[in-house]
Each structure stands twice: as structure tokens, then as C-alpha cells.
Amino acid sequence: MKKIIKLSLTGLLLSAAQAFAGTCDNAPKSSVTEITGAPIEQWAKVECSKYGHIITFTENYGFVLIPERRPIIYPAQLVSNEKPSLGPDEYYFTSISVDELSGSANEFLHGLHQKNIFGSIGQDVPKAKPKIWELSATTNENKELALYFYEYPDIVVGTSCWESCAPTKGFVVARKPK
């Protein structure tokens, strides 16, 4: 069983999920609205919101950005400093794949991100080598998103890359309290 991060997650994650929850009934035929591939499908799903489709956490888990202690989601609509526009089915994912990384890709990503991720959550990098899972998504605007999940025996952490991948703060995949 993965380590449970003890934060006030219930209200935080429920309010974030409710703000974006919507139906995908009118999603374009070219949109992908499901994530398949264990173990990622346990942690991540696609939701349809008033701002377009998003990759978010599931009912049992949350992605918590540390040290901010806030949930994080990944929208198909990329906005920088501007206000996101409404359009539930105008921004969506056209492909989503899940792969386990091994060999040189695993070594490279482990070296690139782990000190930053674990530094941001106030822990030392575990000695064990993680399984690294890559969720790759492409939007209908041909923007690329990669989410990397580092599965250690006691904790799962992650990071994201839009178009390019520089060391970033990470997030913890935390089991929601029952």
C-alpha cells in the first residue's frame, strides 16, 4: 500500500473536482475521454468541464502540488496569463497513451526530476529505483503534454511537461481519506 500523505484533502479535492465536473456527452468523435493502462487509470482520468477537457485525479486519489498543498489538474486548453475561455468541447485530447519507461529514458528522467520533486515535499530521494510511467496526451491544437509518475514502494510522485520538459516542482499522488 502506498504511503498516505496526511493533508486536509477531502474538502480540497472535492471542491476542485466539483468546479470542473461535467459530462462528455457532446464530446467530438475525435476526442479521447478515457485513460487506460494500469496503474495510471487508478490515479488519473479525463473530465469534461466548461473550459474544455482536463486530465485530473480519480475518485480515490488526488494530485497535490507541494508545498502549496493544492490540487493540480491538466487542461487541454493552454492558457498563460489570460483568462480561460468557455467552451466545454472546444478544447480536448485527441490521443492519450500510457507507457512504462525503462532503460536510458528511466535513468534520464529519474536524474532530471527527483531532487526537485522530493525537495519540494521535504523528503530525501528514496534509494529504491521507481517504476516510471509516462502518460502522453495530444490536444486538438496539437499541443503535447507528458505526465510522469514515479512509483516507489511507499510513495507515488509525479511531474508534468508541456512541449518542453525542464525540472519542475512535483506533485504527490495521494489516496483520498475515506
- The per-residue pLDDT for range 119-177, each reduced to its tens digit, is 877 888 898 889 999 999 999 999 889 999 999 999 999 888 876 666 566 889 999 88
Domain contains 106: yes
Domain count, the chain: 1
pTM, two decimal places: 0.82
Domain contains 27: yes
**How many Cα atoms sit within 13 Å of 168 on the Cβ side?**
15
Chain CA centroid to CA 178, Å: 21
Domain contains 117: yes
Domain contains 1: no
Domain contains 110: yes
Domain contains 2: no
pLDDT reading at 15 higher than 80:
no
**What's the mean pLDDT in 56-66?**
90
pLDDT band at 12 (very low <50, low <70, confident <90, very high): very low
Mean pLDDT of the chain: 80
The predicted structure's pLDDT at residue 62: 92
Domain contains 165: yes
DSSP letters of 134-175?
Answer: EEEEEETT--EEEEEEEE-SS-EEEEEEESB------EEEEE
Domain contains 34: yes
**pLDDT single digits (tens) 41-53:** 999 999 998 889 9
**Can you give the residue range of the structural domain that contains 110?**
9-175
